[in-house]
Amino acid sequence: MTGPSAPPRRGEALLVLADGAVFEGEACGAVPEGGIATGEVVFNTVLSGYQEVITDPSYAGQVVAFTCPHIGNYGVNPTDDEAPRPHCRGVVVRDLSDRPSNWRSTGTLEAYLVRHGIPAITGVDTRRLTRHLRDHGAVPCAFGTAPRTELEAAARAAAPTDGRDLVSGVTTPAPYTRGTGPYRVVAYDFGIKAAMVRQLGELATLTVVPASTPAEEVLALDPDGVFLSNGPGDPAALPGVTAELRRLLDDGTVPVFGICLGHQLLATALGATTYKLPFGHHGGNHPVRRLATGTVEITSQNHNYAVAAESLSAAEVSHVNLNDGVVEGVRSTAVPAFSVQYHPEAGPGPHDARYLFAEFRTLMERTGGPRVGGA
């Protein structure tokens, strides 16, 4: 078969984990320098929403392996981007579709990966890979068309996410404003997703600021509330951010709402500690119990770190994961602040938890908002 409809020719490639496991496949996407791409490999269980996953800045430093066997079926389009470009280090799939079919599609996933410089490998036994990661945990990897010995050495040398500040590579370099809602909210950008900006922009005039912004500058903007976004990497590697959040909480007058990394950083600022999960939570179907009502929510998740329940002293647990008991939400007992580990903005995923944005609005009303226009 020849012509523009023909599938691309792909060379043989290998995926090698740092623990020695090897998986065969075919190279696709962008060509990495030296024929080798590296990162910490994790698996994601979503059945759709692959473009939102790939463009989630929380995947900085990581290689995303999709458990769904067919990826790229409905192509890509600009509306589904969660960031201006992907920050993940690579993509692993079982079967990458060459002929997407969807009225919204503007191109193929592979062309999208090539355009953004993201290498990938297809034809991998992702079922075996997922079982391996569940048994042995997320580990660094290397993949590409280089010789096996070189890939093995690169995998052993690849850095995990532990102890690394990955936020500085994804945060906005300068403040910007979005939204037309009646409240005034300042959002810390630790790797904020477009879906979060849209949700917050419906209820507030939103000022998004760099992760390094001092608490004093945030309070000087006279916000009705402060939002702490998602982001990549280890929260323990961000002591400067945590110190500023602690100063913000010491003020005690401005409501704070955190999601994902923002949840971990809020809990840390309240005196808690975090730890790394064996293989993290990455998918769109995690059951979470809301303790106040007993309601079970199906949630979208993407995190490798979690808050240690026994370390909480100035906050109470509000949500728990029914799969493994991980803390999924906390609420301060002293100041107007709360957070969740999962993604209520659902980009992609179910909408069960979008009520949390309304709770943020209610909290701002109770503390004197809005300061911009009428509610």
Active site residue 343: yes
Residue 36: beta bridge partners?
144
Residue 365 structure tokens: 């009303």
Continuous segment of H or E residues that includes residue 26: strand 22-29
Catalytic pick among 40, 260, 263, 319 = 260
Catalytic pick among 40, 244, 297, 345 = 345
SS3 321: strand
Catalytic pick among 263, 286, 319, 343 = 343
Active site residue 345: yes
- Beta strand extents in 45-172 (DSSP E only): 62-66, 70-71, 90-92, 95-96, 119-122, 139-144
Residue 41: beta bridge partners?
63, 139
How far CA 25 is from CA of 121, 123, 151, 229, in Å, comes to 6, 5, 14, 36
Whether 39 contacts 90, CB under 8 Å: yes
Residue 262 structure tokens: 């923002």
Q: Which residues are catalytic?
A: 260, 343, 345
